[in-house]
Amino acid sequence: MNTLNPKSLQWAVTLSDVSEDSFGWGMGLGGIGADHFQAEAYLKFNMGDKFCLKPGFAYATDGNSGIGALMLRSTWSL
């Protein structure tokens, strides 16, 4: 039987508004062990029935260093 290695433990929590309204939001937290952590938050803008734009902010750490970034996601369907 394999033993549990706490350094390889991965975890994540995500919350989002999945409605089809023209406006929504989302956020996520996750990490690997105690040294790696990532957080992100975004707003969701539905533009018509087939296109969605999600501008947001992400922050990630690796040990003692961290970095923040603006992000832009989009989804579309036929």
Average pLDDT for runs of 10 along the chain of length 78: 69 88 92 90 91 95 94 91
Match 């018509």 to its residue by tokens: 48
φ/ψ of residue 6, rounded to 5: -60, -25
DSSP for residue 9: -
- The per-residue pLDDT for 6 is 63
DSSP tag of 2: P
Beta carbons of 65 and 59 less than 8 angstroms apart: no
Residue 25 has what pLDDT?
94
pTM for this model (two decimals):
0.75
